[in-house]
Structure 1
């Protein structure tokens, strides 16, 4: 929405937003504060009325409030945020663990919706949709040749559970067009990427975030791994930015003995809540290793801190992000909400791992660059440790607060300075798109091949390596990948395996070349 002209002083807008926020989520228990609040509310309401009835220029009040609310929250802490009404659905969906739709992984390839892979067991797979299919129409809505934004495509393909949809599909491999009738259904959004065995007795579970379904996914994976003989467990929390605190607590409860402290939280009034482990954990014995890096935050740090402080397992990797603030989502009455910091959490030993945000939000979220420059990503002795923030684990080991979880076993970032770009590219979507397009050219080339046969086909010649090098150049990525040829080939082979065989097989391949996992296996 546009604002024609705004000449309202900043202080005026600030007071307006404060009034709206106060009216939404503050509570004054005593009469004196209640009277003060009532007086300010009356004053601010009058001011708003004056602006609407008397101010010389037209003003979009909603836009002023949205902008000002964001400005206020930026003055509080980096994790108190405003969620506009238009963003609420996508934010909620990302944490819900499922959505109602047709169940395909897709991307816009050239001018059409190309199916990378139907989700196993989903509506599209049941209806016969295959990798490489183009979805031309959803009902009467044309999807090709229109450069539709992703959110618009999602809106078209999603719908009510049980609702029917007719898709018009083009199958390139058979050069035919046909219609498919399917029924929209609940489609899971996985938060556990993989649960696989890395040795005969070592299981591995990768968690990408803590959503509503995370604990159920984790427990199901752990039960399966135990049946396969897992007596030790690696929990991979790298690049996991957090989510629901209680889901991390549930997982910790499965790993910790009865009555051990999992986490403590303390609010503005210094009221402390302590969460203890129960007696029904399914993996209270057996070695546990937790992998973390500079992007492991919040709920990931709660889980890692509980394992470390109780001496239940070994933390492997690099210092975590350092977020020790707890947020609660509070509706503002118009479909929007504020996610406000309401407490701090502390690990069982009593340490806060919240990093300082005194230098502002930009510096806070760009901490990776600082760590890169001071060498912390490459050497453990470059980690800044606050000697005044020493704490003791259950067995008396010294741990430190004030800035993330410091691992028990440090593993530097792979390669040397300057190698990060190649490592990031090989784990990015561009590899997935390249492999899709290669398969799209000739799907029969990989059809029916085993994992070993695919690896040989991709790594024993330069055919796919050269094609990928050209693909990077065509997409404007100038990278010197020649000295990483073997690594590039292996990652390409892994992605071919992922799209041709399965996600778990893909992870089993990557773990063989994973420095942190190999470090665990050497312990």
Structure 2
């Protein structure tokens, strides 16, 4: 990559973390103007002002937007995690945290001007109705969907509906050059939070969790049960890039690894009330080796699990220092379909650590601290991590851990080079690999029909022709990299994306794992550790 591009990827990544904050409220108009300035008018001032604008202002004004701006300023004075959820976003947020929605169960791209199915969710409504990858959805009931270039959210709204209702689809199947009429009965479609799971080694399972939703613990238990049946006596729990979610779900998951009555965490509110959470007898993976993977984007509930295990001298935390969110929110209904998630307490790890990083310099600074870590060298070298000596804590077995600004892992793994991180971003955030493979499969899916899942994993190799076509695809999007220096990594990601679109996310994750430095470190640790791992190179400061 050219030198001038060295900071492009970390900068874009940091900006992607930022959160928009808004709030609304119900207002009344039934008192005299004088009350606007009365001593008991903190709430009335805002109510009166909005109502005066509604009723008296000379021009028509969208007062809802004024309320949003006003309360945005209010919440801007609080912490960065107290957020407003408008009515228009509430359904999507609720679905994401619940872990399912009612729809037809397809993932799709708007290819040129037509909705094209990437894959159907196995055993979902579309899968059971015979819809296949590559199918074009032309009409849903009487709504024409092609040639409209409608945004994805509008497409989704036409395909979603009440459970048990039917939608008549007109489908064009390119592989057979024919149009089909297919009726799909809408049903609950899972939004998976257990992103993937597979056997990493003969006796070691791997589970990747992308958030903590209502369904997460059940998904985790199911994955763990299947891995144990395959012989897993050790586990890698991947919480990288996991921003958190429900506190109670994190407590349940931590309980799986901790002995009875071990403290998981405690919370403290503004009145000083302390609430403690302890492990129960329900743990299903106690006394077994566990490795927890974290990075600078692991936050909240992810940090609760990492902190609970680390402070109880259970397992090994591998990776880089986590985000640093030690605040707890409660969702509160505002009565009009919107809600606010308001910070109501702080949480502390079993040794008494608060891992919340400072937000005194404002929200923008708070979310851009990644750049500060990057520039300081912290993501590259463990020696660059600076911690306050006053925030030193000790675990029952005498291991030193630190509070403030996240969980510091037991074993440090540096971030990849700029070009490696750029490839990861092209695969994840920007979906270049996925888009390219989608278009590649559109040209000829038939060539892959001869592969079973296992045959594809063991036998398929990305050839130089496909590699060169990808380079051309990326160059047309003004991305410059030393592609040939990263040839094997790129070919691996191309193969993984083919696997995901033809088979499953599990197979894709298994293929990408061959170029995962943290997983390689776990394999190394699993064969070399004779005793407790130690943090080395951490510099304490007064």
**TM-score under structure 1 length normalisation:** 0.90
Structure 1 counterpart of 2:303, from 286, 301, 317: 301
Shift of 1:359: 1.7
Deviation readout 1:366-388 (Å, 9 max, x if unpaired): 12211111111110011121111
Partner residue, 2:434: 432
| Alignment partners' CA distance in 1, 2:414 and 2:476 | 32
Report the 3-state secondary structure (helix = DSSP H, G, I; strand = E; otherwise coil) of the residue aligned with 1:179.
strand
Partner of 2:261: 259
Q: Distance between the aligned counterparts of 1:97 and 1:181, measured in 2?
A: 25
Higher relative contact order, chain-length normalized (CA < 8 Å, sep 6+): 2
Change (3 A) 1:58 1:142: closer
Please state whether the residue corresponding to 1:274 is helix, strand or coil.
strand
Q: Report the secondary structure of 2:344's partner residue.
A: strand
Structure 1 residue 85 displacement after superposition:
1.4
Judged with a 3 Å threshold, the aligned counterparts in structure 2 of structure 1 residues 166 and 264 are, in CA distance, closer, same or farther, namely same
Query: How far, CA to CA, are the matches of 2:25 and 2:170 in structure 1?
Result: 48
Q: Distance in 2 between matches of 1:140 and 1:19?
A: 36
8 Å contact 2:102–2:160 — kept in the other structure? Answer: yes
1: CA distance, partners of 2:486 / 2:293: 25
Aligned to 2:287: 285
Post-superposition CA distance 1:92-145 (Å, at most 9, x none): 111110000000111111111110101000011111111111111111111111
Is 2:522 the partner of 1:504? no
8 A contact 1:106–1:116 mirrored in 2: yes
- Counterparts in 2 of 1:52 and 1:460: CA distance versus 1, 3 Å: closer
Task: Give the unaligned 5+ runs of structure 2.
Answer: 1-21, 29-37, 526-542
In 1, Cα distance between equivalents of 2:27 and 2:270: 16
> Which of 444, 447, 456 is the matching residue for 2:446?
444
Deviations 1:436-480 (A, max 9, x none): 211111111111214576468864631110111111123333333
- Picking from 148, 151, 161, the partner of 2:150 is 148
SS at 1:385's partner residue?
A: strand
Aligned twin of 1:522? 524
Q: Secondary structure of the residue that 2:264 maps to in structure 1?
A: strand
CA gap 1:465/1:18 in 2 versus in 1, 3 angstroms: closer
Report the Cα distance in structure 2 between the residues aligned to 1:284 and 1:245, rounded to whole angstroms: 21
Q: What secondary structure does 1:250 align onto? A: helix
Q: Distance in 2 between matches of 1:54 and 1:21?
A: 18
Equivalent residue runs for 1:443-482 within 5 Å: 443-450=445-452, 454=456, 459=461, 461-482=463-484
Q: Is the 8 A contact 1:114 1:134 kept in 2?
A: yes
| Partner-residue secondary structure (3-state), 1:241 | coil
Displacement of 1:22 in angstroms is 11
| Residue number in structure 1 paired with 2:538 | none
Which of 375, 378, 382 pairs up with 1:376? 378
CA contact (8 A) 1:19 1:44 kept: no
CA positional deviation for 1:88: 1.0
Match of 2:84 in 1: 82
Q: Which moved more, 1:442-451 or 1:136-145?
A: 442-451
Cα distance change of structure 1 residues 22 and 265 upon mapping to structure 2, 3 Å threshold? farther
Shift of 1:424: 2.0
Partner Cα distance (1:49, 1:492) in 2: 57
In structure 1, what is the Cα distance between the partners aligned to 2:51 and 2:422?
55
1:202 shift after superposition: 0.4
Structure 2 counterpart of 1:337? 339
- Give 2:216's aligned residue: 214
Deviation at residue 491 of structure 1 after TM alignment: 1.3
Which string of whole-angstrom CA distances, capped at 9 and with x for unpartnered residues, describes residues 152-200 of structure 1?
Answer: 0110000000001111001111111110011001000000011211111
Cα separation, 2, equivalents of 1:22 and 1:256? 49
Within a 5 Å distance, the mapping from 1:31-180 to structure 2 comes to: 40-41=42-43, 45=47, 50-180=52-182
Preserved CA contact (<8 Å) 2:167 2:185: yes
Equivalence map 1:365-444=2 (5 Å): 365-414=367-416, 416-428=417-429, 429-444=431-446
Task: Check the 8 A contact 2:23/2:68 in 1, yes or no.
Answer: no
Partner of 2:31: none
Number of residue pairs aligned between Structure 1 and Structure 2: 494
Work out whether residues 455 and 494 of structure 1, in 8 Å CA contact, stay in contact via their aligned partners in 2.
no
- Asked if the contact 2:24–2:86 (Cα under 8 Å) also holds between the matched residues in 1, the reply is no
Q: CA deviation at 1:501?
A: 2.7
Closer, same or farther: CA 209–49 of 1 in aligned 2, 3 Å: closer
Q: Is the 8 A contact 2:23 2:67 kept in 1?
A: no
TM-score norm. by structure 2 comes to 0.87
Q: Deviations over 1:349-404 (max 9, x none)?
A: 11000001112111111122111111111100111211110111121211000110
The RMSD of aligned alpha carbons is 2.2
Rounded to whole Å, the distance in 1 between the matches of 2:171 and 2:496 is 28
Q: Over residues 389-432 of structure 1, what are the superposed CA-to-partner deviations in whole Å (9 max), with x where a residue is unaligned?
A: 01111212110001100000000012x34542123213452211
Structure 1 contact 104–117 (Cα < 8 Å) conserved:
yes
